[in-house]
């Protein structure tokens, strides 16, 4: 594995262009509380899963809606910010 694929170019899920799917490259699990991390896993989030932003946070900083796998999920912005996504090849 060379350096270029080991450190791919990623974007935080919260800042993704809506309706442009990508795959989860890494998740900053440490910035989340244990219950947050656990529920996020239960909602199907994992490295390698396909995700897509459906509705961004907006100017007031509300929650985001995104697709994780085949499921639509509402997340607070800081959680969506901990999920790093690389664009679909």
Partner 1 sequence: MNPVPLIALVGNPNAGKSALFNALTGARQKVGNYPGVTVERHAGRMALPDGRPVELLDLPGAYSLDPSSPDEAVTRDVLIGKQEGERLPDAIIVVVDASNLDNHLRFTLQLIALGLPIVVALNMIDLAERDGLKLDYLALEGELGVPVVPTVAVRKRGLDQLRERLGEVVREGATRIEKGAGVQHDIVVLQRRARQIALAATVSETAGRRWTHRIDAVALHPVAGPVLLLTLLFVMFQAVFAWSEAPIGWIETLMGWLSGAVGGALPQGFIRSFLVDGLIAGVGAVVVFLPQILILFTFILVLEASGYMVRAAFLMDRLMASVGLSGRAFIPLLSSFACAVPGIMATRTISDEKERLTTILIAPLTTCSARLPVYTIVIGAVIPNASVLPGVGMQGLVLFGLYVLGVIGAFLAALLLRRTVTKGATSGFMMEMPKYQAPRLRDVALGLLQRAEIFLKRAGTTIALTVAILWVLASYPVAGPGQKQSEVSIAGHIASGIEVVVKPIGFNHDIALALLPAMAAREAAVAAIGTVYAVDDPDGDRGQDRIRSQIGARWSLPTALAFLMWFVFAPQCISTIAVTRRETNGWKWPAFMIGYLFALAYVAAGLTFWTATAMGL
Chain positions contacting partner 1, by CB under 8 A = 19, 33, 35-36, 38-44, 46, 49, 54-55, 58-63, 65, 67, 69-76, 79
Question: What gap in Å lies between CA 20 and CA 22, rounded to an integer?
Answer: 7
Q: Compare residues 42 and 89 and give the one whose CB is closer to partner 1.
A: 42
Q: Compare residues 9 and 35 and give the one whose CB is closer to partner 1.
A: 35
63 vs 15, 60, 80, CA distance in Å?
12, 9, 9
Instruction: Report yes or no: 32 and 75 within 8 Å, Cβ to Cβ.
Output: no
Q: Compare residues 12 and 65 and give the one whose CB is closer to partner 1.
A: 65
């Amino acid at each position: 594995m060379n350096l270029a694929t080991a450190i791919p170019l990623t974007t935080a899920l919260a800042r993704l262009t809506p309706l442009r799917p990508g795959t989860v490259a890494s998740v900053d699990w440490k910035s989340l509380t244990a219950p947050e991390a656990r529920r996020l896993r239960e909602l199907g989030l994992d490295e390698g899963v396909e995700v897509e932003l459906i509705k961004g946070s907006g100017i007031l900083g509300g929650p985001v809606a995104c697709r994780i796998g085949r499921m639509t999920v509402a997340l607070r912005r800081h959680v969506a910010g901990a999920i790093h996504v690389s664009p679909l090849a």
